[in-house]
Amino acid sequence: MNQTSLTPRWWDPAGRVLWVAAVALVLASWWAAASFAPVEAQMGPVQKIVYVHVPSAIVTLIAFGLTFAASIAYLTTKQWRWDAIAASSCELGMVFATVVLISGPLWARSAWNTWWTWEPRLTSFLILWILYAGYHVVRSSIRSASRRTISSVLGIVLFVNLPIVWKSVEWWRGSLHPRNVTMTGEMRETLLLSMAAWIVFFAAAMVSRLRLEWVREAAAERA
């Protein structure tokens, strides 16, 4: 059996198309952030971090949401592909969340005059990052057949963090994050382009990450 025989035939061409689109869109969004979007009046150029920070935060929630859905699908069907999707999406969500936790303090240092403060959104997001890191620690430590089931249960239970992060600015006082932001004109267009770019990037990265799961599964079937 070929090592990647579990990979659908259209997988590699689809991956290449997605990667070309993702890189082109991300570069276009960075150009738009630098040259097309105007400088924000109060915060100045540092506000341009919004075009990488906010899309990364949204895609983090999409990725962990996909982990939740795929985990339910695995427990329902017991098909290994759902577990592969859950684990892959969770890993990519961690990378996006890391970008959020790096870009956020850089923005906060300029906007709030501090690298970090224990306000609701920052605190809940850090807890989210730690708990989903725990998903990977637990998953990698289990070698038995129950690995997929335990991972799926975790993928479902940890989902409770997402609405907490989303609603943290409303549920607790002292939030420095704004409840609502209204953008117009070039700023809004640049943010929408950035959102699209990072969503396509996530899709391309999912294709690449799932390849690892296909290869591992093929190797396990041969063993």
Partner 1 sequence: MTYAIVAYILTAVVWIAYLLWLRGRVARARGE
Which residue lies nearer to partner 1 by CB, 168 or 194?
Answer: 194
Q: How far is the CB of 69 from partner 1 (least distance, A)?
A: 22
> 60 with 124: CB under 8 angstroms?
no
Q: How far is the CB of 153 from partner 1 (least distance, A)?
A: 25
Q: How far is the CB of 175 from partner 1 (least distance, A)?
A: 21
Contacts (Cβ under 8 Å, ≥6 apart) of 179: 169, 170
Quick one: tokens of 193? 């382009």
Contacts (Cβ under 8 Å, ≥6 apart) of 68: 155, 156, 158, 159, 162
Which residue lies nearer to partner 1 by CB, 156 or 213?
Answer: 213
Cβ neighbours, 10 Å, residue 5: 12
Residues that bind partner 1 (CB under 8 A): 3-4, 30, 33, 44-49, 52-53, 56, 95, 98-99, 102-103, 106-107, 109-110, 205, 208-209, 211-212, 215-216, 219
> 218 with 3: CB under 8 angstroms?
yes
Q: How far is the CB of 167 from partner 1 (least distance, A)?
A: 26
Which residue lies nearer to partner 1 by CB, 50 or 156?
Answer: 50
Which residue lies nearer to partner 1 by CB, 156 or 198?
Answer: 198
Which residue lies nearer to partner 1 by CB, 52 or 156?
Answer: 52
Q: How far is the CB of 6 from partner 1 (least distance, A)?
A: 12
Which residue lies nearer to partner 1 by CB, 95 or 196?
Answer: 95
Q: How far is the CB of 114 from partner 1 (least distance, A)?
A: 13
Residue recorded with tokens 């990647």: 4
> 76 with 12: CB under 8 angstroms?
no
CA-CA distance, 49 to 26, in Å (whole number)?
Answer: 14
Q: Which residues pair with 40 in a beta bridge?
A: 44
